[in-house]
């Protein structure tokens, strides 16, 4: 049985501690279970991962899932290891083909665009599952260990590949490059950008607002429709606020009628009276969560724009503050971003915050909204926040923020951002 209870275990160790399957049916069962976990992570989120639900989707008995996996964490850890192995193997193949003179991609910008297009297409399910795992890693030390392993292996293989491409200053670029790709994934997935739209933004230089601006059209209508006058409106607002605070505590599954009633100081019947379906309350709470996330970031970004301070210093300070002061709430916001992949009703709120970010970053950097460099720096900021949270806020990595932002911002303002297609 998998015993993933020791912080710092590698995927190889986790596989070694797994109950070794016999040939035939046992191997088939484990493969089905792993496939079911990845499918559920993508289609329903990490809250759906229970032994019973996994067994149902895998078409195996509950006894089989508990025999091979001791806990929910063990199920998720094995899924992460399998996704990581597949990802690393794909990079190794790309490196070997490049060495053989048959490159899949010729340089870093081409690699970034290929990864994003694959995520929007044939690898969408696996990418969404991985994104759910990364957010789950922010919760505790076991998750931090998983994330540290993932990023460590990514650093190694990216370093080799960038060196193979002949990328200047490859060693210093590895983490910013990974952060940028992670950020772009978290931006493009919830907006459901197609491969063609990704090309318009990153290859042709169209702003995000030109390809998904229509998504925010109904956000004011949605917000006003949820406002009720008088005492009924006050109670409804208290219920939504309580649900938001539960989400910000880091547990999306905590939003139940009973938990919301207790947090709001209302009767158990009150939430159900105002919201006939828990999904309706959850959607509204997540939209409000995103509005507050936008408000927090804009308070810092807008105040910083135009200041007589280097943009790298400003962005590094905002990054550190957002991690230390509002880290859990911001990760809950990113969970809502991923929920928008599955729930189109949330997409307007995600578009609203992403497009506000695009304008705010352009103002901070002094670049036009149409600059592809603006989107890349914004993505680096988002991805770096996710990496730092998932790996447990390592002091050394926090300390490198100014240096990393300064390097990429300087290159961007010179028109030489290393991930910018020529």
DSSP for 139-185?
SSHHHHHHHHHHHHHHHHHHHHHHHHHT-TTHHHHHHHHHHHHHHHH
* pLDDT at 221 (0 to 100): 56
The two structure tokens encoding residue 347: 């997409």
Q: What is the pTM of this model?
A: 0.89
d(CA 160, CA 166): 10
* pLDDT at 98 (0 to 100): 85
What DSSP string describes 66-102?
A: HHHBSSHHHHHHHHHHHHHHHHHHHHHHHHHHHHTT-
Burial profile 31-44: b = 16 or more Cβ within 10 angstroms, e = fewer: ebbbebbbbbbbee
Residue 352 DSSP symbol:
H
Q: Which residues contact 156 (CB under 8 A, 6 or more apart)?
A: none
Mapped onto helix, strand or coil, the DSSP state of residue 199 is helix
Going by C-alpha positions, the residue among 200, 182, 178, 210 that lies closest to residue 334 is: 182
Domain(s) labelled CATH 1.10.357.10 in the chain stretch across: 11-166, 208-413
Q: Which residues pair with 2 in a beta bridge?
A: 69
Averaged pLDDT in 10-residue chunks for the chain of 422 residues: 37 47 70 94 90 96 93 91 87 86 86 92 92 92 92 92 88 94 96 94 91 78 54 83 89 82 93 93 94 94 86 95 94 94 92 94 80 91 97 95 94 84 72
Burial profile 386-400: b = 16 or more Cβ within 10 angstroms, e = fewer: bbbbbbbeeeebeeb
Q: Which residues pair with 69 in a beta bridge?
A: 2
To which residue do tokens 């998998």 refer?
2
Q: Using CA of residue 306, residue 307, residue 309, residue 315, what is the dihedral sign?
A: negative
Give the domain 208-413 fold.
Answer: Tetracycline Repressor; domain 2 (1.10.357)
Choices 1.10.8.60, 3.40.50.360, 1.10.357.10, 3.30.1360.120: CATH for 11-166 = 1.10.357.10
d(CA 377, CA 323): 17
Q: Which residues contact 36 (CB under 8 A, 6 or more apart)?
A: 54, 55, 57, 58
Q: Let me know if 319 is exposed, middle or buried by CB neighbors in 10 A (0-12, 13-18, 19+).
A: buried
Mapped onto helix, strand or coil, the DSSP state of residue 2 is strand
* pLDDT at 38 (0 to 100): 94
Q: Using CA of residue 220, residue 226, residue 228, residue 233, what is the dihedral sign?
A: negative
Q: Which residues contact 224 (CB under 8 A, 6 or more apart)?
A: none
């Amino acid at each position: 049985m998998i015993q993933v209870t020791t912080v710092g275990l590698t995927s190889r160790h986790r596989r070694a501690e797994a109950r070794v399957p016999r040939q035939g049916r046992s191997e088939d069962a484990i493969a089905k279970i792993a496939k079911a976990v990845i499918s559920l992570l993508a289609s329903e989120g990490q809250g759906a991962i229970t032994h019973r639900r996994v067994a149902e989707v895998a078409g195996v008995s509950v006894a089989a899932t508990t025999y091979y996996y001791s806990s929910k964490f063990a199920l998720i850890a094995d899924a992460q290891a399998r996704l990581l192995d597949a990802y690393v193997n794909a990079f190794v193949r790309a490196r070997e083909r490049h060495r053989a003179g048959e490159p899949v991609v010729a340089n870093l910008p081409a690699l970034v665009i290929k990864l994003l297009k694959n995520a929007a297409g044939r690898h969408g399910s696996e990418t969404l599952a991985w994104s759910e795992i990364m957010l789950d890693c922010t919760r505790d030390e076991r998750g931090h260990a998983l994330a540290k392993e993932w990023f460590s292996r990514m650093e190694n293989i990216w370093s080799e590949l960038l060196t193979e491409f002949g990328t200047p200053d490859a060693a210093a670029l590895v983490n910013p490059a990974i952060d940028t790709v992670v950020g772009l994934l978290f931006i493009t997935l919830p907006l459901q950008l197609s491969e063609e739209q990704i090309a318009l933004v990153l290859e042709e230089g169209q702003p995000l607002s030109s390809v998904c601006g229509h998504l925010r059209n109904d956000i004011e209508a949605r917000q006003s429709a949820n406002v009720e006058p008088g005492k009924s409106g006050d109670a409804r607002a208290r219920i939504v606020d309580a649900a938001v605070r539960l989400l910000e505590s880091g547990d999306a599954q905590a939003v139940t009628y009973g938990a919301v009633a207790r947090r709001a100081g209302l009767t158990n019947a009150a939430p159900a009276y105002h919201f006939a379906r828990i999904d309706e309350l959850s959607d509204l709470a997540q939209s409000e969560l995103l509005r507050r996330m936008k408000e927090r970031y804009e308070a810092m970004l807008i105040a910083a724009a135009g200041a007589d301070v280097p943009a790298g210093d400003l962005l590094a300070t905002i990054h550190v503050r957002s991690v230390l002061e509002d880290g859990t709430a911001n990760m809950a916001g990113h969970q809502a971003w991923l929920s928008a992949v599955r729930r189109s009703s949330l997409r307007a709120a995600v578009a609203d915050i992403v497009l506000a970010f695009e304008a705010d970053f352009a103002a901070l950097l002094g670049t036009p909204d149409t600059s592809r460099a603006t989107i890349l720096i914004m993505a680096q900021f988002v991805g770096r926040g996710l990496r730092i949270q998932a790996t447990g806020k390592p002091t050394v990595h926090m300390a490198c923020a100014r240096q990393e932002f300064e390097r990429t911002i300087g290159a961007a303002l010179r028109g030489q951002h290393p991930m910018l297609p020529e």
